[in-house]
């Protein structure tokens, strides 16, 4: 007997793709993925049915989803396109969520659970110092995010519809896929390759305070496993959970070991604005690609330098408590240092960054 029918919005994103992979791997699920574009055959997860849908379009949602009468679990991993420096539009993201939910709720349909992918922006992590370690019972940030409107809608609709909801709050999501450009590991790997090509050390390109502050990451497969667990474990219904690797680190301790991984000397903190400092390194990257027979990735698609500035500028600690997650019964953890080496290994194997 099938565990259920899962509908995943944003299935081509990092989290959505990992949810689809996890559900397909454990079996017993009918998995349907929604995205604006149908991924190439090479990018699809075996056993997943893909539907093209612009969730901002009410009529398109009714047309595409109107006949999906068997959905039991809705995983909302979609978000409207935005840059690193833009605020994500709360109204558009909420409309996308509700447009899909509206098609899954009519009387007689078997919806049992809705999951919301959130993050530590819930606590104001992008705006300045916030109480740490952040706990799920902490008040919402004073800075608005689409998380709040989506969550309020889920709470209200769940009470009327007889289904439950849950929310995951990861931070610093990391994934080994070579196709992801907004990737912490890829950014570090490309930066290291350029520094090495220029004969320099691997200097930390952020602020001194960021180098010393506490940070945390969430491995994407761990997050997907936690999301499916909390969406199918009855006692988790109507709860939010912080999901991280389960440990903290400081770049000042990890960065020298990353330099060792790349066979480089660790340099000092230099507080670059990567978006400016790395803007003219296209010819250097082309030399690296040619010498090491890398994939012919254009320099403007090799790394998102503004994302690096976003990561390496904040002066405050990023810490989320995962005590609630453990108390409810999810045991898995990931060694963050080993995770980074695995990510770099995957990028090397995929010929995205040099092997040596």
What confidence tens digit (pLDDT) does each residue in 254-281 have?
Answer: 999 999 999 999 999 999 999 999 999 9
Query: In DSSP terms, which residues pair with 214 in a beta bridge?
Result: 250
Beta-carbon-side half-sphere exposure of residue 193 (alpha carbons within 13 Å): 31
For residues 43 and 33, the model is more confident at: 33
Q: CA-CA distance, 282 to 319, in Å (whole number)?
A: 36
Asked if residue 341 and residue 200 are part of one domain, the reply reads yes
Asked if residue 178 and residue 64 are part of one domain, the reply reads no
Say if residue 107's pLDDT is above 70: no
Asked if residue 113 and residue 58 are part of one domain, the reply reads yes
Q: CA-CA distance, 99 to 57, in Å (whole number)?
A: 8
Average pLDDT over residues 53-60: 95
Q: Give me the percent of the chain exceeding a pLDDT of 70.
A: 97
Q: Which residue in this structure is represented by tokens 């403007």?
A: 300
Cα 112 to chain center, whole Å? 25
Closest CA to 318 of 178, 212, 195: 212
Q: CA-CA distance, 114 to 232, in Å (whole number)?
A: 10
Length of the chain equals 356
Asked if residue 193 and residue 93 are part of one domain, the reply reads no
Reported as a pLDDT band with limits 50, 70 and 90, residue 90 is confident
Indicate whether 256 belongs to any domain: yes
Q: CA-CA distance, 178 to 67, in Å (whole number)?
A: 35
Domain range spanning residue 278?
173-216+248-318+335-349
How distant, in Å, are the alpha carbons of 6, 25, 70, 166 from that of 235?
19, 24, 23, 11
Structure tokens at 126: 């992008």
Which of 78-82, 143-147, 196-200 has maximum average pLDDT?
196-200
Asked if residue 134 and residue 67 are part of one domain, the reply reads yes
Asked if residue 120 and residue 237 are part of one domain, the reply reads yes
Asked if residue 208 and residue 120 are part of one domain, the reply reads no
Whether 116 contacts 150, CB under 8 Å: yes
Indicate whether 330 belongs to any domain: no
Asked if residue 57 and residue 166 are part of one domain, the reply reads yes
Reported as a pLDDT band with limits 50, 70 and 90, residue 1 is very low
Confidence at residue 83, expressed as pLDDT on a 0 to 100 scale: 52
Whether 341 contacts 335, CB under 8 Å: no
Say if residue 355's pLDDT is above 60: yes
Confidence at residue 343, expressed as pLDDT on a 0 to 100 scale: 98
Structure tokens at 289: 């690609």
Look at the pTM and tell me if it is higher than 0.85. yes
Q: What are phi and psi of 296, to 5 degrees?
A: -75, 65
Whether 228 contacts 19, CB under 8 Å: yes
User: How many separate domains does the chain show?
Assistant: 2
Indicate whether 328 belongs to any domain: no
Asked if residue 223 and residue 101 are part of one domain, the reply reads yes
Indicate whether 327 belongs to any domain: no
The CATH number that applies at residue 124 is 3.40.50.720
Asked if residue 264 and residue 150 are part of one domain, the reply reads no
Indicate whether 329 belongs to any domain: no
């Amino acid at each position: 007997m099938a565990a259920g029918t899962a509908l995943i919005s944003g299935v081509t994103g990092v989290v959505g793709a990992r949810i689809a992979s996890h559900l397909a791997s454990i079996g017993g699920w009918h998995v349907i993925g929604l995205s604006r574009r149908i991924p190439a055959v090479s990018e699809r997860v075996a056993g997943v049915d893909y539907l093209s849908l612009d969730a901002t379009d009410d009529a398109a949602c009714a047309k595409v989803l109107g006949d999906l009468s068997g959905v039991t679990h809705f995983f909302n991993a979609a978000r409207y396109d935005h840059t690193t420096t833009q605020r994500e539009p709360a109204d558009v993201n909420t409309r996308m969520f509700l447009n899909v939910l509206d098609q899954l709720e009519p009387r007689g349909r078997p919806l049992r659970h809705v999951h919301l992918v959130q993050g530590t922006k819930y606590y104001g992590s992008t705006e300045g110092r916030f109480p740490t370690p952040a706990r799920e019972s902490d008040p919402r940030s004073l800075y608005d995010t689409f998380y709040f409107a989506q969550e309020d809608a889920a709470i209200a609709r769940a009470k009327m519809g007889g289904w439950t909801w849950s929310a995951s709050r990861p931070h610093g999501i990391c994934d080994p896929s070579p196709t992801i450009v907004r990737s912490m590991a890829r950014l570090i790997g490309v930066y290291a390759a350029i520094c090495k090509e220029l004969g320099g050390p691997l200097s930390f390109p952020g602020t001194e305070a960021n180098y010393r502050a506490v940070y945390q990451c969430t491995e994407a497969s761990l997050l997907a496993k936690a999301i499916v667990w909390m969406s199918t474990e009855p006692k988790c219904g109507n709860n939010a959970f912080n999901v991280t690797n389960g440990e903290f680190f400081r770049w000042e301790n990890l960065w020298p070991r990353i330099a060792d991984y790349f066979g480089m000397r660790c340099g000092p903190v230099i507080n670059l604005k990567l978006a400016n400092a790395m803007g003219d390194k296209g010819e250097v990257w082309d030399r690296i690609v040619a010498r090491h027979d890398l994939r012919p990735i254009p320099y403007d698609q090799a790394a998102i330098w503004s994302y690096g500035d976003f990561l390496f500028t904040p002066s405050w600690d990023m810490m989320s408590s995962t005590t609630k997650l453990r108390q409810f019964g999810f045991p898995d953890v990931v060694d963050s240092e080993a995770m980074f080496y695995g990510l770099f290994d995957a990028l090397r194997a995929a010929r995205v960054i040099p092997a040596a």
